[in-house]
Structure 1
Amino acid sequence: MLKNIKFDYKRMMQELNCSEIIAKILVNRGISEKDTAHRFLSPCREQLYDARLMKDIEKGASIIKDAINRQLKILVVGDYDVDGVISTYLLYKTLVKCGAHVDYHIPDRVKEGYGINESIIKTAKENDVNVIITCDNGIAAIEQVKLAKELGIKVIITDHHDIPFVENEDKIREYIIPEADAVINPKQLDCEYPFKYLCGAGVVFKFSEVLYDLIGVDKSEAYELLEYAAIATVCDVVDLTDENRIIVKQGLRLINNTSNIGLKALFEETGLSNKEITVYSLGFVIGPSINASGRLEQAVWALKLLICEDVVEAKALAKKLHDLNKERQEITSAGVEMAIELIENSELKKDKVLVIYIPDIHESVAGIIAGRIREKYNLPTFVLTAAKEGAKGSGRSIEEYNMFEGLLKCKDLLEKFGGHPMAAGLSIKKENIELFRKRLNENCSLSDEEIIPKVIIDMQLPLSNITMDLAEEIVTLEPFGKGNTKPLFADKKIRIQRAIILGSNKNVLKLKLINKNNRLIDAIYFGDIEGFNNLILDYYGEYEFQKMYEGIQNDINIDIVYSININEYMGNKSVQLVITSYRIS
């Protein structure tokens, strides 16, 4: 799909002093106003919104300030994923800095499940806790908050998840807010905060800003927390737009100069020492290592790593997290293979919403497996596994299918469920699984066309137009991620001068391409190399195929979709394309 939005690009080029290519990329991302574009291109701390615009944030901070002044016990209750761990760390660090008498609790994924529960509240009462503050959870804890209030415990909720609701007979939704002393969540309908898509740690960062101000801590110390908020923002896969873009851009600068002993130990353990930490490093190396702790054992290991001030202890904890992540990867790979085998050898392959029940897989990787299967088949996917009572699991969707709405139509079959259009979690009785699968598919209106994978291309860009200046200009659009994807370009009838297979696992294909001006440009492809080779062989034959790998002039021409990278080697910089899709010309 080639984007082609009509717009006065010449005017935008002049206003921003940028190339037409950059102007088109910005417009493709919905950025067409001069002020919005300047904010996007030059994100800085001064552009952060006033935290006090968030509903109940001053009320919550005042309750904490009073508790600190009276040395009352405060309990932070977090969650076991990256956002939950980082949120817990930020709150704990903030409260300790302000002189609070504070402790923390992250629920065990298997034994306690998600969010604050009655057991946590009753234990808190036994331990004379006066104030509970949640992070990355709590907005759906209606009954739990009620219990805490009955026991005389004040409750502050900081969360970013969607507000729970009930539907009446006319399908009109009534939103339900827990009766806490303060509910801080920008998604509340009556919250005037202008940006609604912060992650849990982003909300905690705003809370810390206000608390520091009330206590009299210098604002610059609140900005130091952006380092950690950036990790959670990337790993929770929220849109990297507006305020999230500022948090990540500023946070990455701090991360690359971190003094946190635990983070430095984790960088060393995962091979990132002396390398630039990027969005990719956070999302695919650091995040999964933190997540593995909560998935396979206890998230508290990751939290202790961040709090740790002893180098020896930090190294031991970092190794533990890295080892757990390797174990998680093996469990996930085995689960994906089992899921594919089930689909290919059953009626499931006819479905447009996949419901896969694999009793023996670890419930903590069900969501990851669902994501991998969704990627392979481009279909909404639920992966369920056996639980203490019945079954539970996670789902991952495609843009064309609202997974949460699908679950609403099956709510009579489910024990519990929650989520978003693109992801969801549920628990169900085993005897209802097949009925659940059939109901989802009966109610599914996805057409054959809607389930075809789509590649969105920013523009056709001949290889002859690619320069180092353009590559460096594209860097100004970073950080890339959800909501701000890396720009994709396309060109046709590209000649391949030579192909080389690289990497210790022979999993990287390097191509030397020739543009229409006979200029060579390097490209790499990280996809299915066997599939690429088979396509060339089938279409052009063995003789042309061999010439391609020997670097001899050949007749092979392909169309490509690509992004533009800057490759640095031995102090030299060069432009390199990363091919994401291809076809025979």
Structure 2
Amino acid sequence: MEKWVLRNKKADFEAIMKRYGISECLARLIVNRGLTEESDIDLYLNPDYNRMYNPDSMKDLVKACAILEDKINHSLPIRIVGDYDVDGVASTYILYKALVLCGARVDYEIPDRIKDGYGINEQIIDAAYEAGIDTILTCDNGIAALEQVKKAKKLGMTVIVTDHHDIPFVIEGEKRYLLPEADAIVNPKQEDCPYPFKQLCGAAVAYKLIETLFKRRRIGEEELIPLREAVAIATVCDVMELTGENRILVKKGLELLRKTENLGLRALMEKNQIVMENLAAYHLGFIIGPCLNAGGRLDTAKKGLRLLLAENKEEADRQASELKSLNDLRKQMTEEGIIEAVSMIEGSSLKEDKVLVVYLQDCHESLAGIIAGRLREKYNKPAIVLTKAHDMVKGSGRSIEKYNMYEELTRSSKYLTKFGGHPMAAGMSLALESVESFRISLNSNTTLTEEDLIPKVTIDVVLPLGYVSEALVEELNLLEPFGKGNEKPLFADRSLKILKMAVLGKNRNVLKFLVRNQYGKEMDAMYFGDVNTFLSSLEETYGRGEVDKAFQNRTNSMQLSLAYYPSVNEYNGSRNLQIVIQHYKPENL
């Protein structure tokens, strides 16, 4: 069962309304997002690139630029080592495109997800050394590569690490952070890094480096535009908090992407039937990102990079078609994996665990994280999916707010051969014989309570349907882009009578209602979730007969409380207000 709670933050709403010329509803939504200081509200409503922090304040960033300039000036070969997810691909693209523009001798390597695993490894260092590479420049990885960096240094190479992942640590009485012995480490999460905003993705850290490098080499700001587009995609796809600088990067980046000159991105949007001028954060996170990711999951991440670097339409179309096909295959394989995982949980004592650890032997290892995310959504528990990989087991985890997965893995690290990640997501490797001990250890160590596992639905404003207007829908656009840390607002109305009901869509996956609230206001309501579960809950509460009456447009006894988001439905030239149902509760009379 969900627990519905109402956000009720206090502030001088009148003053905010007057200062920014917005409605009380919008003022409440802004305060609910933790913004009460004038400067914070102003930045939120008026994000702009020129309001970002000076990149030079990031520890080692100026030092890294000086090293790169020296290498460029002496024509010494640089190799970028990225990662196989969207953030890694975008970071590699940013550094490669920018360094080519700076006149560098530069190439790139992206680890193979299956063969190499995450991050830089010793084979990549050996290959770089044999190829005569002078400098290794990592992006979206490297902060945990202590032994690998040591080896590169021993071989006489220069190493610059750019990363955004949490700094590894050991607890020896007190927490001690472990840093690689690189020539420069650019990562705002370092303890002594004065950079004010710590939540940048790997691509944003790479972008910051290039911003300063371009200034030093007197390269015009217009050359940053294609790089900013890539940062926006990576920030959304790496599920960064859309607050502070990330909000600027995504909101302004989306404006650039709606008129992008990038041939690969244009082709990918075309193949997925995305209308460029309507591009939103949703398209980045659920269509463009998964296509870019599909290369790294099922083939090579270099396909995504080649798409971004495509120099003619023919090449762009070919790469876009291949990535879309790979993503379609990935979707099908994911559904099969989810069905198997749910069946294992429901058919065993695993469902009693507070931390789900599921071993899917035959699942493609690249799908573990997606399946873990879906299990987390279904059960509202931290979930780790493990798969067989050569002579060991690899896994990926997705967490809930009350569970810092990276720290919890540290507490059970004796069962792992390798691990890394964030509070909300992590990757790991372990021996097959350790799987059960690892599961038991995570569950016996956890401090999660039953209360922590109850999904909470946080309502922003109780807003009867009569207050929903086109002006409100228009005003809500000011809050976009929505995502982690800037969730779509939730409104609620209760005691809504169902006047009629219909199932729509060729897959019968949409429910449409006509509802009336207690003040007599009628409105269409759409539901795009699990239709069968919704109908079952109505039948359980009211009986099949009442549900049938609603389908026949007859008077019935059904009433709902709805958490919703308002929208305008445009069809055949007419515009109608409607609400899109996010959560529902049948009301017992």
Q: 1:208 to 1:570 in 2, by over 3 A?
A: farther
Residue 133 (1) aligns with residue 141 (2): no
Which letter does structure 1 place at the counterpart of 2:345?
I
Which letter does structure 2 place at the counterpart of 1:345?
G
Counterpart residue number, 1:569: 571
Alpha-carbon contact 1:62-1:214 (below 8 Å) kept: no
Q: CA deviation at 1:445?
A: 2.2
Superposed CA deviations along residues 353-376 of structure 1, whole A, max 9, x for unmatched, are 111111111111111111111111
Q: CA deviation at 1:307?
A: 0.7
Q: CA deviation at 1:572?
A: 4.1
Q: CA deviation at 1:31?
A: 0.3
Counterpart residue number, 1:420: 422
Structure 1 CA distance for aligned equivalents of residues 266 and 222 of structure 2: 22
1:38 aligned to 28, 39, 42, which one?
A: 42
Q: CA deviation at 1:566?
A: 3.1
Counterpart residue number, 1:252: 254
Counterpart residue number, 1:93: 97
Q: 1:295 to 1:224 in 2, by over 3 A?
A: closer
Q: Between 2-11 and 339-348, report the one with greater CA deviation.
A: 2-11
Structure 1 CA distance for aligned equivalents of residues 575 and 51 of structure 2: 33
Alpha-carbon contact 1:264-1:273 (below 8 Å) kept: no
Structure 1 CA distance for aligned equivalents of residues 200 and 571 of structure 2: 37
Alpha-carbon contact 2:258-2:276 (below 8 Å) kept: no
Which letter does structure 2 place at the counterpart of 1:417?
F
2:29 aligned to 25, 29, 32, which one?
A: 25
Q: CA deviation at 1:575?
A: 2.7
Counterpart residue number, 1:266: 268
Counterpart residue number, 1:122: 126
Alpha-carbon contact 1:462-1:490 (below 8 Å) kept: yes
Q: How does 1:504-583 map to 2 (within 5 A)?
A: 504-583=506-585
SS in 1 for 2:279: coil
TM superposition score normalised by structure 1: 0.97
Q: Between 25-34 and 531-540, report the one with greater CA deviation.
A: 531-540
Superposed CA deviations along residues 179-210 of structure 1, whole A, max 9, x for unmatched, are 21111111111111111001011111111110
Q: CA deviation at 1:399?
A: 1.3
Superposed CA deviations along residues 138-169 of structure 1, whole A, max 9, x for unmatched, are 1111121121122221111111111111110x
Structure 2 CA distance for aligned equivalents of residues 197 and 462 of structure 1: 37
Q: CA deviation at 1:254?
A: 1.0
Runs of 4 or more above 6 Å deviation: none
Which letter does structure 1 place at the counterpart of 2:140?
D
Structure 2 CA distance for aligned equivalents of residues 540 and 413 of structure 1: 50
Alpha-carbon contact 1:523-1:577 (below 8 Å) kept: yes
Structure 2 CA distance for aligned equivalents of residues 256 and 571 of structure 1: 24
Alpha-carbon contact 1:464-1:516 (below 8 Å) kept: no
Structure 1 CA distance for aligned equivalents of residues 63 and 448 of structure 2: 46
Counterpart residue number, 2:287: 285
Counterpart residue number, 2:402: 400
Alpha-carbon contact 2:355-2:381 (below 8 Å) kept: yes
Residue 216 (1) aligns with residue 243 (2): no
Residue 174 (1) aligns with residue 182 (2): no
Counterpart residue number, 1:104: 108
RMSD value, Cα: 1.5
Counterpart residue number, 2:51: 47
Structure 1 CA distance for aligned equivalents of residues 392 and 309 of structure 2: 37
Q: CA deviation at 1:556?
A: 2.4
SS in 2 for 1:359: coil
2:389 aligned to 372, 379, 387, which one?
A: 387
Q: CA deviation at 1:219?
A: 1.9
Alpha-carbon contact 1:15-1:34 (below 8 Å) kept: no
Counterpart residue number, 2:486: 484
Alpha-carbon contact 1:226-1:251 (below 8 Å) kept: yes
Q: How does 1:341-380 map to 2 (within 5 A)?
A: 341-380=343-382
Structure 2 CA distance for aligned equivalents of residues 31 and 222 of structure 1: 30
Structure 1 CA distance for aligned equivalents of residues 202 and 310 of structure 2: 22
Q: CA deviation at 1:484?
A: 0.2
Q: How many residues align structurally?
A: 583
Q: 1:275 to 1:555 in 2, by over 3 A?
A: farther
Q: 1:179 to 1:447 in 2, by over 3 A?
A: same
Which letter does structure 1 place at the counterpart of 2:473?
A
Q: How does 1:45-84 map to 2 (within 5 A)?
A: 45-84=49-88
Q: Between 307-316 and 484-493, report the one with greater CA deviation.
A: 307-316
Alpha-carbon contact 1:78-1:135 (below 8 Å) kept: yes
Counterpart residue number, 1:313: 315
The alignment-based identity, stated in percent, is 50
Alpha-carbon contact 2:225-2:256 (below 8 Å) kept: no
Q: 1:274 to 1:421 in 2, by over 3 A?
A: closer
SS in 1 for 2:456: coil
Counterpart residue number, 2:305: 303
Alpha-carbon contact 2:161-2:184 (below 8 Å) kept: yes
Structure 2 CA distance for aligned equivalents of residues 79 and 569 of structure 1: 43
Which letter does structure 1 place at the counterpart of 2:443?
N
Structure 1 CA distance for aligned equivalents of residues 350 and 321 of structure 2: 40
Alpha-carbon contact 1:9-1:20 (below 8 Å) kept: yes
Q: 1:68 to 1:571 in 2, by over 3 A?
A: farther
Structure 2 CA distance for aligned equivalents of residues 118 and 409 of structure 1: 27
Q: Between 225-234 and 506-515, report the one with greater CA deviation.
A: 506-515
Alpha-carbon contact 1:240-1:483 (below 8 Å) kept: yes
Counterpart residue number, 1:331: 333
Counterpart residue number, 1:233: 235
Q: CA deviation at 1:274?
A: 5.0
SS in 2 for 1:561: strand
